[in-house]
Amino acid sequence: MPPESPFQGAALIKDQVRRLPDAPGVYRMVGEDGEVLYVGKARSLKKRVSQYAQGRFHTQRIAHMVHATRGMEFVTTKTETEALLLEINLIKQLKPRFNVLLRDDKSFPEILIRRDHPAAQIRKHRGAHSIKGDYFGPFASAWAVNRTVNSLQKAFLLRSCSDSVFETRTRPCMLHQIKRCSAPCVDLITTSDYDALVEQAHDFLRGKSRAVMKTLSDQMMALAEAEEFERAARVRDRIRALSSVSQEQSINPQGVEEADVFALHAEGGQACVQVFFFRAGQNWGNRAYFPRIAGALEAAEAKEEGGAQVDEDAAILEAFLGQFYENQQIPRLILTSHDLPSRTLLAEAFCIKAGRKVEIARPVRGEKCELVRHASTNAKEALGRKMAETGAQGKLLAGVCEVFGLESPPERIEVYDNSHIMGTNAVGGMIVAGPDGFEKSQYRKFNIKDSELTPGDDYGMMREVLRRRFARMIKEEEEGEASAPRPDLVLVDGGAGQLAAAAEVMADLGVDDIALVGVAKGPDRDAGLERFFMEGREPFMLEPKSPVLYYLQRLRDEAHRFAIGAHRTRRSMDIKKNPLDEIEGVGPGRKRALLHAFGSARGVSKAGVEDLMKVDGVSEQLAKRLFDYFRKG
């Protein structure tokens, strides 16, 4: 918390300016209760911050931000580049509401050629580069990387199995039979030949695809001339697999080996950034982002120290880029749809992070310009679809408000359902929906823990789920946390009984400001004949073709799908459990030895004490324990 000041808003900022140095650094605007409103960087803190004290604002948003300021914090840096890097880190950490925020910063999948094993492994990877090997990416989706890995296996015959599987193989697996692995596990290929395949795969993924294809073509021709037609056919199949990696991409520029292309389209207070990834001269996919821009940008409101007005869209894209590469691999070339206001500074910061030269450019002609134009078209179309969906969603939520008599359209709807088979592996599911559709990152599953519940007691399960969910919400609200936001509407799958169970829990917890609705399926579970239950109202139905009814059906079906999926996962985990895991003294090594000796847990259960003692690592005491375990009761 900054020290208390008798001033606030513009007066406070004006007071701070008098003591600021004419040096680069980062500033933070702080509101009530220590909330960080905005993080910015400056070449000169004194000049930059003084602009806020002038009281002339281009937008109401900036005026509101300045008015809400109750304190400021400053960090000076040696260079403006250091200030930029610190600004990016603080925005990612603090998520101030007046900054442009990247709402989806998950890492992208990559291809990894592991080098920490005598027989290198090719596989999909996501996350930190903590494994020794060569990383290739990013790919826009798991589907894209899986497809490419499959094609590379056909082309280079590299193993994808885990080390434990590799070490225990005594004969080739199915992948070798279908010509997707050279079977180094059973020495069907020499170490030197396998290493040569690994290097070919490495060269291909590094962009030397033409050289690799020529080498394979020459090899095929030589084998054909030597009348080794079967081996020549296998090389031909590898060439075809490599060709498919390139041909299946939608755009493959000739003059761009490694680049990320960013294009922004903003409209109606919303923005879309479309990102295309090009590696090894191939298009490895694209993804659309919808950053939170909170109206006009502060960077566009104020003038640069040189006096030029900053383009708002360019400032949005620049802020997005800084956050995007906080956790992503930086390519050698970044192409943008706008001329970034601090392009040189951002490139310098990226050079420091990547440890090599990084170029940021806005092409105006040629092939690179066409790539940016294509990305811009996709950004505009994606934003149009998003805005159409948001508009339709708003109308549906307004309809929900009217149907259930709410004070305003709900911002957060939570839907609950249970899933079990005869009371076993019982799981409760919670899904969340709002103005932006389904919020899948907010979904939660609840493994039913109450051992006193009668198996199959749906009411008891619902009570446990809701009690755990809302007791935690109350606790976190008391502690001043917002990690469990309060819903405006709760839907439970079921009729009057489930509604009564839910209402009982809410009354016990003192939560009386959340609307509760029970959704009962129609006769024979027919969609369109659902009945809705609310306290103080008679059960009612909606018009069969009502858009609101369809929307509520989608919510209920999504909750049902999620609960069933969680139940199946838990059930499959139980099925896979090995009884040996429950026996004291049987660790991974002894378990492996027992299964190797007897073939399965069932084989172990039939063995006598003397047979068990013959297994390496099994003492007489452990053998008796194993024998008694399988014969208890």
pLDDT in tens, 576-605: 566 777 788 888 888 888 877 877 777 788
**Amino acid at site 231:** R
Asked whether this chain's domains 9-94 and 579-629 adopt the same fold, the reply is: no
For the chain, give the mean pLDDT.
82
Q: How many residues does the chain have?
A: 633
If you average pLDDT over residues 528-544, what whole number do you get? Answer: 87
Tell which residue, 229, 225, 278, 272, has the closest CA to residue 249: 278
Task: Report the CATH superfamily, name and number, of domain 9-94.
Answer: GIY-YIG endonuclease (3.40.1440.10)
Contact between 37 and 97 under an 8 Å Cβ cutoff? The reply is yes
Residue 245 has a pLDDT of: 60
What whole-number distance in Å separates Cα of residue 376 and Cα of residue 336? 10
Maximum CA extent, the chain? 93
Sign of CA dihedral 311, 317, 321, 323: positive
Question: Residues with Cβ < 8 Å from 247, sequence gap 6 or more?
Answer: none
Poorest-pLDDT segment among 42-51, 172-181, 227-236: 227-236
Question: Residues with Cβ < 8 Å from 6, sequence gap 6 or more?
Answer: none
Is the pLDDT at 532 greater than 90? The verdict is yes
Q: What is the CATH number of domain 579-629?
A: 1.10.150.20
Residue 423 has a pLDDT of: 61
What whole-number distance in Å separates Cα of residue 304 and Cα of residue 422? 68
User: How would you list the strands of the sheet with 259-267, edge to edge?
Assistant: 282-289, 270-279, 259-267, 333-336, 359-361
Q: Report which DSSP code applies to 21.
A: -
pLDDT in tens, 502-513: 999 998 888 888
The second-level CATH assignment, the architecture, of 259-382 is: 2-Layer Sandwich (3.30)
Residue 529 has a pLDDT of: 78
Contact between 99 and 300 under an 8 Å Cβ cutoff? The reply is no
Q: Quickly list DSSP for 520-572.
A: E--GGG-TT--EEE-TTS--B---TT-HHHHHHHHHHHHHHHHHHHHHHHHHH
Q: Report which DSSP code applies to 328.
A: S
pLDDT in tens, 333-348: 999 999 998 899 999 9
Is the pLDDT at 193 greater than 50? The verdict is yes
CA distances to 58, 61, 336, 337 from 293, in Å: 16, 11, 18, 18
Torsions phi, psi of 62, nearest 5?
-65, -40
pLDDT in tens, 242-277: 766 655 444 556 677 789 999 999 887 788 999 988
Contact between 418 and 427 under an 8 Å Cβ cutoff? The reply is yes
Residue spans per domain, the chain: 9-94, 110-247, 259-382, 413-574, 579-629
Residue 402 has a pLDDT of: 92
Say how many Å lie between the first and final Cα of the chain, rounded. 65
Which residue is associated with the tokens 């099994």? 618
- Strand pairing of 282-289 and 270-279? antiparallel
439: enclosing H helix or E strand: none
Cβ-based burial of 200 (10 A; exposed 0-12, middle 13-18, buried ≥19):
buried
Is the pLDDT at 295 greater than 50? The verdict is no
Q: What is the CATH number of domain 413-574?
A: 3.30.420.340
Question: Residues with Cβ < 8 Å from 519, sequence gap 6 or more?
Answer: 491, 492, 493, 494, 530, 531, 532, 533, 552, 556
pLDDT in tens, 462-499: 999 999 999 888 887 776 654 568 899 999 998 899 99
Contact between 76 and 23 under an 8 Å Cβ cutoff? The reply is yes
Q: Could you list the beta-strand ranges (E) of 435-488.
A: 437-438, 444-447
Residue 51 has a pLDDT of: 83
